Amino acid sequence: MKEHVLIVEDEYILANDLRLLLEQAGHKVCAIADTLEDAREAVLKYRPSWVLLDILLQDNAMGTDLARFLTEQGVGFIYISASTDQHILEIAKQTQPDGFLVKPVRERDLLMMLDIARSKHIQHQEIASQRKLSVHNQLQQLVDGDLPLEQILARMPGIFQSLVPFDFMCYEFLYPGTHLTKSKSFLRIGFHEYQLIGKEELNSMLGKGRSLQRQSMLPRNVAGDIYNHAAFSHLIEREGLERLLHQRFGINSCLQFCLSLGKINVQLAFYHKQPDMYKPMHLSLPADAQKDLTALFNKIQLADSSFAVCTKKQVAPLPKPAQQHPEGMLGNSPAFLRVLDDIETVANTPVSVLILGESGTGKELAARSIHQLSSRQHQPFVVVNCATLPAELIESELFGHEKGAFTGAIDKRMGKFELANGGTLFLDEIGEMPLPLQAKLLRVLQERELEHVGGNKVVKVDVRVLAATNKHLEEEVAEGRFRLDLFFRLNVFPMTLPPLRDRKEDIPILCKAFLEQSAARLGSLPVPVLSAEALCILQAYEWPGNIRELENLIERIVIRCRKPVVGKADLPELKNKMLPDTAADQTLSQKEAAHIIAVLRKCNGRVSGPRGAAAILGLHPSTLSSRIKKLGIKKKIM
Ligand SMILES: Nc1ncnc2c1ncn2[C@@H]1O[C@H](COP(=O)(O)OP(=O)(O)OP(=O)(O)O)[C@@H](O)[C@H]1O
């Protein structure tokens, strides 16, 4: 496919080389811009399909500053940079580029990156259109069906969640020319679980005699408005509702837009705990569903005739929906609910998913959930751990081998790709895959075909690949240990499992389940409960080994202390590892340093190796060494 490319590069010779390479491959270069201003103009004038964007431009201008504009314009972009500086790469990554090229750019890499970016773009469009269709069908069912209002309100927030992510949402009918408003709010309390909160209840949260009168109405903007970071801080200075949501539920960002129902307007506001949650792309989703939303709110408005005079308090958990957590995945913390949303979004698409997260955070479980929720669920789910296989065996494990292909190959054998045919292949610890094999894997991902080791017949395979790693893959790429092209091929839909220390709200529910499972596994023992003190200790601990560490600890407790209530004294191993009580007053860096020191002490100062601190912390040894240096941790402290 021929592309229409804009080059943003201030080094004339390099820009010209790129132009020649692209034109030789049959692509069209619509312009070369050497400043951000020129680039903006060229985008509006030529509407390119791709922008090749230099990161460091003259006069300290940063190509990354153009990213937001390009995203708003729906134009894909690939960075070109001579720098592999981690800080710059991190800034670049946050802008979600479609690709990244390191100077000097080789023809092969440039064309390959355009190809990968295009296929990623197409797959994202596929996810988006699948989501749009599903939202449209669900909203239409609510509009055309004869469900009572309570049932409509029970289903509505779950459908909206796949339009715009939120922790809290509200809708408000506004009657022009009057002060009359009718509103309802929904607090997310679980996966597809919401609590309905009436206006009276919100008022009562403010305190006696106070009510949530808007100081100035939010702009009734049909196109919508986004309030992240500072914009949200200004909003909470002005508006009682947003201030209340911030104080009460930790809300830090907002997206709102307005729908016209003829004589009445309805204002929809979505709120999130993450301060930078909302992006321009989130505005296009409700805009696309505007017709269905208008029909839905017309129906709600008619059904909700008693609402204007409703004065009684209304805080109710809405009826539980049919959708449950994916099997075995416990937790309702906001960080974990985001993972469940991602799993649901991506499960029934063909795209590759790169599952990131520290060791023991549940990456394999997430991969299994994606498979179970996909249309491949009745086909095989095959796991390959790239770290545990000897390098010389991985190739034949993955691709199979012919009889006599190597010493010991006494029979022809199918590889894991063929065994997973029709289903899903989970490549765990992909960061450990040897470089020569990465090239072969890339070929299979691209061509969907392979050859057995020692054979020359081409075998077609239909396999969805999910990969996981606890390594920082960008760092591996920067240090030449992981192929950039494979990284981008796998990184179509990245998903990060939060460490347990960032979802401590889930510890009680995880403990309860693990206590029950361990007691049953150990021969139907009575299930003990945790005392409040024991739970406090468990929630204060940092869990470097994450959920696996918690699971193992609970098993040890069940074996060791055969009594109905587990107390503080039953957790000696944690009491010794706890951070000092002053932790609450420490800065994030101090906490990080204290945690690293504690782990280093446990490992007698050893950083690398299987029993080294890096392995426990789920970091690459070189990353840990640079953090030790950055945090000023001295050898004698260890
Ligand atoms: N959300 C969860 N609810 C309940 N159990 C969980 C959850 N997540 C993980 N676990 C359990 O924690 C253990 C570790 O999970 P898993 O093996 O999926 O982690 P991982 O990130 O793949 O680990 P590694 O990086 O070491 O391969 C498993 O026993 C799994 O069942």
The string of pLDDT tens digits covering residues 254-307 is: 998 888 888 888 889 999 999 888 877 787 777 778 899 999 999 998 887 654
Instruction: Find out whether 355 and 467 touch, Cβ atoms under 8 Å.
Output: yes
30 lines ligand 1 (CB under 6 A): no
Give a yes or no: residue 574 inside a domain: no
pLDDT at 430: 96
Give yes or no: residues 475 and 617 share one domain: no
Q: Which residue carries 């790469």 as its tokens?
A: 89
Residue 191 lies in a domain: yes
Where a domain ends, among 124, 139, 170? 124
In a domain, 550, yes or no: yes
Cα(555) to centroid(ligand 1), Å: 15
**CA–CA distance, 589 with 621 (Å, rounded to integer):** 19
* Token output for 343: 């799993």
List the 315-317 sheet strands across, edge first: 225-227, 253-260, 265-272, 168-174, 181-190, 193-198, 315-317
Nearest CA to ligand 1 atom 16: 362
Give the pLDDT of residue 213: 61
Whether residues 213 and 306 fall in one domain: yes
> Best of 386, 388, 547, 549 to mutate for ligand 1, by most ligand atoms within 8 A of CB?
547
What is the CA(546)–ligand 1 centre distance, in A?
8
Q: What contacts 24+ positions apart, CB below 8 Å, involve 420-423?
A: 420/379, 420/380, 420/381, 420/382, 420/461, 420/463, 421/379, 421/380, 421/461, 421/462, 421/463, 422/376, 422/379, 422/380, 422/462, 422/463, 423/371, 423/376, 423/379, 423/380, 423/381, 423/382, 423/463, 423/464
What amino acid occupies position 56?
Answer: L
Cα of 363 from ligand 1 centre, angstroms = 6
Distance 544 CA to ligand 1 centre (A): 13
CA-nearest residue, atom 8 of ligand 1: 362
CATH number, domain of 294, equals 3.30.450.40
- SS3 for 524? coil
Residue type, position 418, single letter: E
For residue 547, the ligand 1 atom closest to its alpha carbon is 12
60 Cα: distance to centroid of ligand 1 (angstroms): 45
pLDDT of residue 308: 43
| Ligand 1 mean position, distance from CA 547 (Å) | 6
Residue 599 lies inside a defined structural domain of this protein: yes
Q: What is the mean pLDDT of residues 86-106?
A: 83
pLDDT of res. 415: 93
Q: What percent of the chain has pLDDT over 90?
A: 41
Atom of ligand 1 nearest to the CA of 331: 1
Residue 201 C-alpha to ligand 1 middle, in angstroms? Answer: 39
Claim to verify: residue 294 and residue 165 sit in the same structural domain:
yes
Task: Please report, for the domain that includes residue 514, its CATH number.
Answer: 1.10.8.60
Q: Can you give the residue range of the structural domain that contains 607?
A: 582-630
Q: Are residues 263 and 339 in the same domain?
A: no
- Give per-residue pLDDT as tens, 333-374: 999 999 999 999 999 888 899 999 999 999 999 999 999 999
311 pLDDT band (50/70/90 cuts)? very low
Same domain, residue pair 342 and 312:
no
Q: Which helix (H) or strand (E) holds 135?
A: helix 107-144
Q: Tell whether 457 and 343 lie within a shared domain.
A: yes
Residue 358 lies in a domain: yes
Q: Is residue 328 part of a domain?
A: no
Residue of 338, 376, 378, 342 whose CA lies nearest to 465? 376
How far is it, in rounded angstroms, from Cα 168 to Cα 271?
5
User: Which region among 44-48, 118-122, 179-183, 431-435 has the lowest average model confidence (pLDDT)?
Assistant: 179-183
- The number of distinct structural domains making up the chain is 5
In this structure, the answer to whether residues 271 and 353 fall within a common structural domain is no
Beta bridge partners of 28: 4
Q: Which of 256, 288, 317 is the last residue of a domain?
A: 317
Q: Is 360 in the pocket of ligand 1 (CB under 6 A)?
A: yes
Whether the CB of 540 sits within 6 Å of ligand 1: no
